[in-house]
């Protein structure tokens, strides 16, 4: 692994996440952003094997190097972050008077999804063992 900075586009699930002082706080579950517009929104970070992932906004992400994300906040601040919730889909709000065809088009353009855990328990266990015993 190199200490040279890399783009957020290269971040992968399982990368180590450390706090501002370099202490490990978890691993990357998901990366949120718009790759077409090059907008990095943040990370979903697993801080424990069975707990819900925490959402770390991009403003709190410092250095990104291969395999490692350093945050600009402390471990205690990470523990205070909210649970990660899947970003809402963008949807166009249609007026009550919109025709049935337009409403069907709207539901196809912006379907509503239920939230699914992207990284399951087995994946988290594998990542935890990798961190514990090295790669």
Q: Which CATH number is 23's domain given?
A: 2.30.30.240
Does residue 122 fall inside a structural domain?
A: no
In which element (H, E) is residue 26 found? strand 24-34
Residues of the domain holding 54:
8-88+129-133
Does residue 2 fall inside a structural domain?
A: no
Does residue 123 fall inside a structural domain?
A: no
pLDDT at 113: 35
For the beta sheet containing 61-65, the strands, ordered from the edge strand earlier in sequence to the opposite edge, are 54-57, 39-46, 24-34, 16-18, 68-71, 61-65
pLDDT at 52: 86
In tens digits, the chain (135 residues) has pLDDT values of 568 999 999 999 999 999 999 999 999 999 998 888 999 999 999 998 888 899 999 999 999 999 999 999 999 999 998 877 765 444 444 455 545 444 444 444 444 333 344 455 666 677 777 767 765
Does residue 63 fall inside a structural domain?
A: yes
Would the pTM count as exceeding 0.75?
no
pLDDT at 112: 37
Q: Which residue has the tokens 């077409």?
A: 36
Number of folded domains in the chain? 1
Does residue 46 fall inside a structural domain?
A: yes
Does residue 105 fall inside a structural domain?
A: no
Parallel, antiparallel or unpaired: strands 39-46 and 54-57: antiparallel
pLDDT at 50: 80
Does residue 115 fall inside a structural domain?
A: no
């Amino acid at each position: 692994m190199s200490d040279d900075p890399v783009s957020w586009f290269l971040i992968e699930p399982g990368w180590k996440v450390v706090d501002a002082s370099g202490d490990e706080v978890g691993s990357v579950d998901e990366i949120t952003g718009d790759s077409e517009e090059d907008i990095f929104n943040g990370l979903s970070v697993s801080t424990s094997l069975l707990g819900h992932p925490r959402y770390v906004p991009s403003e709190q992400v410092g250095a990104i190097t291969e395999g490692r994300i350093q945050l600009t906040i402390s471990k205690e601040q990470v523990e205070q972050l909210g649970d990660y919730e899947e970003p809402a889909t963008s949807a166009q709000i249609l007026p009550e008077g919109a025709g049935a065809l337009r409403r069907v088009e709207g539901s196809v353009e912006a379907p509503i999804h239920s939230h699914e855990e992207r990284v399951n328990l087995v994946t988290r266990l594998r990542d935890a063992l990798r961190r514990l015993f090295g790669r």
